[in-house]
Every structure is written in structure tokens, then in C-alpha cells.
Amino acid sequence: MGPAPAFCPAASPWRRTGSNQLAPRRPAHPRPRPPPLRRRRRAHRRPLPPVAQPLGPPGRHRQIVFRDVPYRSLEAALGRLPRPPPAVRLLDVRIPQRGPEDQRADEASVKSLLCAAALLEPEKFVFEIPSDSGLIHGSLVVNLPSFQRATSIVLNLRYVFLRVPAGAEFAALETLSLSYGTVAIDRLLSCCPRLRKLCLAWVSFNKGDLTVKSASLQELLLEGHAEQIETIDIETPALKQLIISFSAPDDISVLTPMLEMLWWHCYFRVHVMFDLWRLQQVTLMTAEGQGQLRSLHIDACARLSFFHGKMDAFTEEIEKHMIVKFSVLELRLATNGHGFGALVFHLLGMNRIRRATRRLKISLENIGE
């Protein structure tokens, strides 16, 4: 600011302070302030029934969660919910752990619940009937309705056979997680053109065959199974991650050219023998922090047994699990005081192992007879 003037007339917008400084003159009467805004009275909202807990701001994407709701009250509760719009982002229905005897589920009630949920068109749908709920006695056959807008579906339905009717469609589905129950997975996958992730835990498959054919699938996880898998047929050209554990099937066919992360674990319930050596596990996996090296792990145990398998069967059983290339061979042998040289020489003599192995590791244990 430039130098202050020598005088300050009354009409000037400046005034002189006690320290002979000029400052802006305050108006004689302060400007009137607008009256404070009155808060609008919010319309009285009726309390929501205890059966539903909506999460998030009203009028936007709704999240509806049901907890500890009696089974026979769920369908009526779903029916009271307004249909979209606004959109339902999450619909989470979980049956209480234990219910009264008169709350047992039947095919008609489970089907009605699924249909009522489908009418809400949720983006994410979770439906769980715990195995210890006591609601289901025997096996139920239920049609799975179409969820047009669902991008994620999680179902935990023990003792339920999920049937996929003709015309069913899951056009937006990207993630599917099934626990327990029975399903014709190949029929279901044919209705999911955008599926990227499939998780199966203790699921029974139609006729004991695991057939996974999908052009869009990128992740496949299989944890346990309720019955013996006879055939594994996987054809997923875009698959990047495969995690699977199972008991030795009869036939294996795997086509996954884009696979990056792998954990393939097979354990043997039947006797597959080489002399005194019983084959226990075969694991093919991708190592972490080692440049994505793949390794083949073979577990065997030396035991006196009346079963003496054929050498060819032992070799074939191992070779059928070499679904991708590997460079590391790791042997975990429970010797129990027996020599293991013949077994090692036999394994290294197998053509596919001899050509692929660049590193060998042998771990010895003695667990007793």
C-alpha cells in the first residue's frame, strides 16, 4: 500500500487509528444479516421391521441384509420390499443356525425364496442355509431362477440339487461361489457368458464328472468334493489361476494355455504301488518368489503291504497330472528304514520327468510302520 494521506475527511472511507495508521472505516450500522434458515421438519419415518436391515443412504443403491429371521418369515419379508428402482446392490440372506421343528424347508419354499430374491434383481446375492440348521431333511431338487443383473452370486445349500432350467440366463454374472449341494456345473456355465471367477467347495457334480468349459473364466478354485470325481475336463483358454484339490480321478483333460498361477493337488485313496512304495500325493504348483518356477511334488511311503501294483500303473498315475511344464522335481519319501534308490531311479527314468527336471530335491522321513 502507498504512503498514507496527510488528512482524513469525514466522508473518506478511511479512518485514523490510535497509532496514526489508516484503516478502512467501519459502517455506522452493520449490514443486516439474513435471518437463519429454518430447518425443515423431516417427515416421520416409520421404523423398519426387524426382518430387514437396509444399509447405505436411502434412495441410492440399497443393501439389504437378513439375519436371524425365522425361515417361514423370509418370503413375506422379501415380498414387502419395493422392487427396483432404486437398484439393490446387495441382498444377503442367511438362515439362523438353529430353527424350530415346524420351520423345516421343502422344495416349494426354497424355490419361492429364490424367486422372490430374483424379483429384486440384486447386483450381489448371498443365500446360505447352514448345514447344522436342521431345516433340510433329505434331498431337495430346486430350479435356480435367472438373476439378470447379478454380478456376484454366493450359494451355500447343503442337500439341495440345483437344477438349471431351460432359458435360464446370468448375463452379467462375473463371480460364482457354490458350497455343498449338487449341480450340473457344465449346464450352469453355459448360461454365464461373462463369468470370470468360479469357486466350488464340497460340491457334488452330476454323474461325478467335473466339466468346466468357459471362454471367459480366469479363476477356478475347487476345495474338496462330496464324492469321488471320475472325470476332470477343463477347457478354459483365458484361465490364469487354477487351485484344485481332489482324489485321483480316472481321466484328466486340461487345456489352459494362459495359466499363470497353479496349485494342482491330488491325493490317493486307492493303493497305487511300486514295490513297497505307495503313492500318496502328487502336487503340481507354481512357486512364489522364484521367477514363477513350476515344481512337481511326489509323496510316497514305504510300507509292507499285500498290494503289489504294476509299474506301468504307477507311472501312468503320475504322468496324468503333468498338465503343464515344470522344471523342479521334489520327492518327499517316508522310508521307514527301507531303501529308496530304486524308486528314485524309476522316477528319473520316466521320459517326461527326465526331460523336464532341472533341479531335484529329496526329503526323507521316518514315520514308522
> Packing angle between helix 341-349 and helix 311-319, nearest 10 degrees?
60
The closest alpha carbon to 323, from 247, 209, 223, 232, belongs to 232
Distance between CA atoms of residues 91 and 94, nearest Å: 10
Per-residue pLDDT, 271: 85
Q: Which of 12-16, 46-50, 130-134, 269-273 has the highest mean pLDDT?
A: 269-273
Cell readout for 49 is 421391521
Q: Is the model more confident about 199 or about 37? A: 199
Band (pLDDT 50/70/90 cuts) for residue 298 is very high
Distance between CA atoms of residues 130 and 160, nearest Å: 12
pLDDT in tens, 122-176: 999 999 987 766 677 778 999 999 999 999 999 998 889 999 999 899 999 999 9
Share of the chain above pLDDT 70, in %: 76
Exposure string (b/e) for 96-109, b if CB count within 10 Å is 16 or more?
Answer: beebeeebebeeeb
Per-residue pLDDT, 39: 45
| Phi and psi torsions of 76, nearest 5° | -65, -40
Per-residue pLDDT, 275: 86
Q: Which of 137-141, 156-160, 206-210, 277-281 has the highest mean pLDDT?
A: 277-281
Q: Give the H/E segment covering residue 189.
A: helix 185-189
Per-residue pLDDT, 44: 43
Q: Please determine, for residue 265, whether its predicted confidence score (pLDDT) is greater than 50.
A: yes
pLDDT in tens, 27-70: 444 444 544 444 444 444 444 444 455 554 554 558 999 987 88
Per-residue pLDDT, 35: 45
Per-residue pLDDT, 125: 98
Per-residue pLDDT, 46: 46
Q: Please determine, for residue 197, whether its predicted confidence score (pLDDT) is greater than 80.
A: yes
The closest alpha carbon to 327, from 281, 296, 368, belongs to 296
Alpha carbon 43 to its chain centroid, in Å, reads 42
Q: Which residue has the cell 418369515?
A: 73
Distance between CA atoms of residues 162 and 200, nearest Å: 14
Cell readout for 32 is 443486516
Band (pLDDT 50/70/90 cuts) for residue 198 is very high
Lowest mean pLDDT among 171-175, 176-180, 254-258, 271-275: 271-275
Cell readout for 292 is 514363477
Sign of CA pseudo-dihedral 214, 216, 218, 220: negative
Per-residue pLDDT, 53: 52
Q: Which of 136-150, 234-248, 296-310 has the highest mean pLDDT?
A: 234-248
The closest alpha carbon to 87, from 114, 118, 122, belongs to 122
Cell readout for 281 is 500325493
Cis status of the peptide bond prior to 13, with omega within 30 of 0 = no
Band (pLDDT 50/70/90 cuts) for residue 104 is confident
Cell readout for 342 is 530304486
CA-CA distances (angstroms) from residue 296 to 43, 274, 356? 68, 18, 10
Cell readout for 353 is 520327468
Lowest mean pLDDT among 67-81, 186-200, 256-270: 67-81
Share of the chain above pLDDT 90, in %: 52
Per-residue pLDDT, 243: 96
Per-residue pLDDT, 269: 83
Per-residue pLDDT, 15: 55
Per-residue pLDDT, 308: 59
Q: Give the H/E segment covering residue 197.
A: strand 197-201
Q: Which residue has the cell 477356478?
A: 220
Q: Please determine, for residue 9, whether its predicted confidence score (pLDDT) is greater than 50.
A: no
Torsion of CA 132, 133, 134, 137, to 10 degrees: -90
Q: What is the mean pLDDT of the chain?
A: 82
Phi-psi category of residue 194: left, alpha or beta, with phi > 0 → left and psi -120 to 50 → alpha: alpha
